[in-house]
Amino acid sequence: MRLIDYFDRGADLYPDRDCLHDGTQGWTYREVRAQTHRVANGLLALGLGRGSKAAVYSPNHAAAYACLLGIVRAGVTWAPVNARNALEENLYILNNTDVEVLFYHSSFEGYLARIREACPRITGFICIDTPSFEEWLAVQKEEAPDLPDAPDDVAFLASSGGTTGRPKGVQITNGNIETMNSIFWACMPVKSPPVHLMVAPMTHAAGVCSFPLLAFGGTNIFMGTADPGGILAAIEKHKVTHVYMPPTLIYMLLAHPDVGRYDYSSLQHLVYASAPMSVDKLVEAVKVFGPVLTQTYGQAEACMICTFFSPEDHVAALESNNRHRLASCGKVSPLVRLEVMDDHGKLLPRGQRGEIVVRGNLVMKGYYNNVEATAEASAFGWHHTGDIGVIDEEGFVYIVDRKKDMIISGGFNVFPGEVEQVLWSHPAVQDCAVIGIPDEKWGEAVKAVVELKPGMTVEADELIQLAKDKLGGVKAPKSVDFVDTLPRSPVGKVLKKTLREPYWVGHERKI
């Protein structure tokens, strides 16, 4: 099936149900379907077709999502552009993915001159939130061609996180999406039309989470900003059933003074992913939001659900005195093969650490126009995630750390995530990041960079001692820096590369 087919199923079954809602106004499946046909025909009239690329430069917005659907209806590849990125990064992405038509929100009108200058391939610019958009739609044909099934065609051209270098174009096919949706339905069966709160950028995991819900008449509620108090209120107001959030945003919700004020009983799945989550804060979240916490593990190259940790698994871990299991990301999903591999391509037995590798129809077609990077990521016939992990005897998968984040101190391997879990347990710590900095004696010394909860204080020595007590002297931070806010990517990941850079200036190596 093509991505648009899931939407069309929802439109067939629930034509008068809201598909999109901006918090005050809703648009039904019938209305959105008509708009997607006109968007598709508009693109075809501009000469775009199979293999062409179009992007939407917009904050989370109902019209932006409708344009996304119109792009894929035309058989054109959608190139997601995160509105929270810096302009220069988005210029690189637009060029790297060969975008020809750009739909944009009027808030980015001031960027157009720079985009035109830097991205000469883009020949069409269409503003989505002014009367000119409705005028453009009005002159397009009402019915777009019904294109044949094309499982190997690229539905969207995502960009990798870029936290360790320039983003790469990740080719996600219709077949990849079909596999991802199938896993979603197997793990999170949809029994009635859901309500999905689009808090995180629709260009990333939140958008991917919305695709399988379309087939069941899902309503997508759009929030332009990730305001913690607004999110809490929206869950109650709209009776939200599904929401995706990175752990950093969940921490903000838990720290909000109004967190105990609202009713969250409508929630079925509060999905968290993208980064490890503090076990202590996870326990707190279960108490606040109920048994709805749901973890998935994946990446741009292997959509979203390589592993699955269900709400029931969370509860069982707490009730069976297996609290440590909350540090896992669940068990391998159906339709995915996931193993742990050493540097020589040997699959390792349960209990041994190595790089997590995956294969199956969830894995991307390859990196766009980057044969070398594709070959490197596909060594030994498996997709290499770059994550160090271990699988226990019960089949639970634990992400130990990013391979490139590992610290080598005095010849010992220190995995930052292990240290971060301990620091997160301190009641004053909102978030933290552990990095390696140059040290003449040890090669690298362990440093913690800590963001405190509002109004809270703690001494560095207290945190260092906490880590020593839990992990021993080798893994404990040698120093602690306190910052008002940790640097984060537009999707909420802490940028350890940014934290490390000042300490490694003048050094030949960066690890």
Which pLDDT score is estimated for 161? Answer: 66
Long-range contacts of 23-30 (CB under 8 A, 24+ apart): 23/221, 23/222, 23/223, 23/234, 26/219, 27/62, 27/66, 29/217
For the chain, list residues with pLDDT below 50. Answer: 163, 508-511
395 in helix, strand or coil?
A: coil
CA distance 77 to 48: 10
CA distance 182 to 137: 33
User: Comparing C-alpha atoms, which of 357, 419, 362, 332 is closest to residue 208?
Assistant: 362
Q: What is the dihedral of CA 345, 350, 352, 357, to 10 degrees?
A: 40
Which pLDDT score is estimated for 244? Answer: 96
Residue 435 CB-density burial (10 A; 0-12 exposed, 13-18 middle, 19+ buried): buried
Three-state secondary structure string covering 405-423: HCEEECCEEECHHHHHHHH
Asked if residues 18 and 219 have their Cβ atoms less than 8 Å apart, the reply is yes
Q: How many CB atoms lie within 10 A of CB 287?
A: 11
- In angstroms, the Cα distances linking 349 to 335, 378, 390 are 21, 21, 9
CA distance 366 to 170: 6
Which pLDDT score is estimated for 162? Answer: 54
Token pair listed for 478: 């040698």
Residue 96's identity, in one-letter code, is N
- In angstroms, the Cα distances linking 506 to 91, 408, 443 are 30, 19, 15
Scanning 273-406, the segments in alpha helix (DSSP H) are: 279-289, 311-319, 371-377
Place of tokens 């980015």: 108
User: Comparing C-alpha atoms, which of 360, 250, 339 is closest to residue 294?
Assistant: 250
Q: Provide the b/e sequence for 96-130 (b: ≥16 CB within 10 Å).
A: bbbbbbbbbbeebeeeeeebeebbeebeeebbbee
User: Comparing C-alpha atoms, which of 32, 34, 35, 30 is closest to residue 14?
Assistant: 30
CA distance 89 to 93: 6
Q: Which of the 8 DSSP states describes residue 76?
A: P
CA distance 473 to 130: 60
CA geometry: angle at 131 spanning 87 and 138, to 5°?
115
User: Comparing C-alpha atoms, which of 241, 179, 246, 250 is closest to residue 216?
Assistant: 241
Alpha-carbon 219 to chain mean position: 20
Tally of residues, the chain? 511
CA distance 159 to 166: 9
CA distance 158 to 127: 22
Which pLDDT score is estimated for 511? Answer: 42
pTM across the whole model:
0.86
Domains in the chain, CATH or no CATH each: 3-225 (3.40.50.12780), 330-402 (2.30.38.10), 406-504 (3.30.300.30)
CA distance 347 to 410: 28
Question: For the chain, how big is the Rg over CA atoms in Å?
Answer: 23
CA distance 295 to 311: 8
User: Comparing C-alpha atoms, which of 199, 198, 202 is closest to residue 69?
Assistant: 202
End-to-end CA distance of the chain: give it in Å, rounded: 45
CA distance 39 to 134: 10
